With several copies, the nearest count.
Chain A
Amino acid sequence: MQSDASLELRTDRIREMITQGNRFDSRKLDEYRKIEIIKNISENAEGSARVKLGKTDVVAGVKLIVGTPYPDNPDEGTISIGAEFLPIASPFFEAGPPKIGETELARVVDRGIRESKCIDFKKLCITENEKVWIAFVDIYTINDDGNLFDASSIAALSALLEAKVPKIEDDKIVKGEYTGKLHLARKPLLCTTYKIGGKLVSDPTFVEAQGMDARFSVATTEDNYLTAFQKGGSGSFSPKEIDECIDLSFRHGKAIRNLL
């Protein structure tokens, strides 16, 4: 456990260091920590993954459930992404109903994936007007050492890439049997840039992130699409800084995509 008592002091020092272009762990400002992706961490999930970003640790799992289509889209399945900041991951997380931080993270990761149109929802139709697949992706934090957004995006995408579609016979799921993988047409990844001490910083640790003014998340695809933006925090970005953030997201997205 890290001592949180001296947190504020450390935050000031780290901010100063960053202003001078230095980081506590010797990384460059635009450098990510080591990324580790472990697949299929839960046999009960249709697909699952655990992602470590340095000491940050999250898991994501996919369950495919038979549901009813929306009347507007009678031949389309759907996806639903949730996130829970498990209290095992940080002294600041509490059990209880979803908090706004969890809702924001889930919705931003969701948009990045959904809007990339990487999933053909028509392929998730079982019987038009009646039965479709709903893909529930749930993200849980294991250890919060900063940059949960990016770790969650990688975990969600990895879990979806692993996900298998259950076999249906006589209108019922045949447990343990699958008709194949869920096909993804694109691999959208969210990369977030933080503004700390006037500088743009990638993949901050928890302590670094404490000193942030603002953050900007950008989801990109391998075919050079932007699929989601989200600015957070009480600070601001200049138009030029936004452009730099977008460049960073394209660059890091490409690098991370190679690890999947």
Chain B
Amino acid sequence: MNVKEKEIEYVKNGKRVDGRKIDELRPIKIDVGVIDRADGSCYLEWGQNKIMAAVYGPREALPKHIQNPYRALVNYHYRMATFSVPDRKSPKPGRREMEISKVSGEALEKAIFLEKYPNTTIDVFVEILDSNAGTRVAGLAAASVALADAGIPMKDIVAAVGVGKIAGEVVLDLNKTEEDAPDAVDIPIAILPRTEEIVLLQMDGLLKLDEWKKALKMGIEGCKKVYELQKTALRKAYLEAEKEEKVKENAK
């Protein structure tokens, strides 16, 4: 909300401040299986965002009275490192982090076959090491890959992206400069790509109905792009693990 920013031309000749097209994602890099002690894990870079996700479980839900005899519980923890933001974040989890954890966990629940693991908890931890807008969707995308890496059976991989409005224009995947624009609207969205079921959807800002319709369409397309990157990363990790296995066998 800086005065100078008001004079920025956020979209000029179809290009944005960082040179991207209207519906272009920032560069995304996904590494699978990066945390040895976790059951599943993922390191994800999304533009400047840097995220570690790990999954532990299904494991016995404790204390016992929280157990659900019909299904597993999903416990999602989204946290930002103190140094991951321009002004140091307090080490205590804030209300924003708690809300993001809640809606992200609910988004994953639809994807997982929870009824297979009664009385257990599936703990998903997402740690933001560096940030530049869009960490909640990046974190959710990373968590979903970590779940797959943990071998937890899922209907589909949750794909997520931010879509929004800036200077009257609907654009995909806002970065921090864009998000800080005076009239910016941010819409995190997550779907099960195969069925286009919407599992996470939030928004704040001043948005007209026709803008929303455009944004929804762009968001779903964006999710599908992220989905392809998630699948590629998982496939690559699977092939590498297989290769390693073969090397070991041959060594015998």
Contacts and interface: CB of A to CB of B under 8 A. Distances in A.
Interface residues of A, number: 67
Given A138-B82, A138-B83, A234 B212 contact: no
A48 B110 contact: no
A161 B131 CA distance: 22
Contacts of B216: 239, 242
A206 B36 CA distance: 12
Given A103-B98, A225-B208, A231-B201, A88 B83 contact: no
Interface string A143-186: 11100000000000000000000000000000100000000000
A98 B84 CA distance: 19
B99 A107 contact: yes
Interface residues on B, range: 35 or more
Interface of B: 1, 35-39, 41, 48, 50, 52-54, 56, 59, 77, 79, 81-88, 91, 93, 95-96, 98-99, 101-103, 106, 109-110, 123, 125, 127, 129-132, 187, 192, 196-209, 212-213, 216, 220
Interface of A: 1-2, 41-46, 48, 55, 57, 59, 61-63, 65, 72-73, 82, 84, 86-91, 95, 98, 100, 103-104, 106-107, 111, 114-117, 136, 138, 140, 142-145, 175, 206, 216, 224-239, 242-243, 246
29 contacts: A1-B36, A1-B37, A1-B38, A41-B130, A42-B83, A42-B130, A44-B132, A46-B83, A59-B129, A61-B83, A65-B88, A82-B82, A88-B35, A89-B35, A100-B99, A104-B102, A115-B206, A138-B91, A140-B129, A142-B52, A226-B208, A230-B103, A231-B202, A236-B199, A237-B197, A238-B197, A238-B198, A242-B198, A242-B201
